[in-house]
Amino acid sequence: MPNDTASSGRQLRLVYDGECPMCRHYVRRQRIRQEVGELELIDARQDKEARQELSAMGIDLDQGFALQIGERWYHGSEALHRLTLLGTRSGVFNRLTYRLFASQRRTARLYPLLKACRNGMLRALGKTPIGNHHQD
């Protein structure tokens, strides 16, 4: 699935849970620096190929979103941290997320809370897990 839209020649893809309001809000507000390239947003619930690709690598999308930079995949708190570093500092949302997640250690400490909020919200909305890690 090569994508040459990134000006740097790197592939940038973010696979997230499109049924999670918190996740949708985050990915729609996140802005990537222009010189980094263009980030392709992929709703894991709508893209079976992406789910299968990540499952084959052992990445469980119910445990966090996945970010591809070039050939390398990042997952969960590491993906959030990397995405933050690629982002702009323009706008209140992006400045706030930079302050919170620019530190890898802080991101790792906060991520379990974010994941628990996401899972609670999905349960309250009656949404089922993505379940990619348990697919055939």
Per-residue pLDDT of the chain (136 residues; tens, 9 = 90+): 343 333 445 689 999 999 999 999 998 888 888 888 889 999 999 999 999 999 999 999 999 999 999 999 999 999 999 999 999 888 899 999 999 999 999 999 999 999 999 999 999 999 999 988 765 4
Phi-psi region of 64 (alpha: psi -120 to 50; beta: other; left: phi over 0): left
Q: HSE (CB half, 13 Å, CA atoms) of 44?
A: 29
Residue whose tokens read 């209140």: 92
Whether 41 contacts 27, CB under 8 Å = yes
Cα–Cα distance for residue pair 26/31, rounded to 1 Å:
10
- How remote is the C-alpha of 114 from its chain's centroid? 12
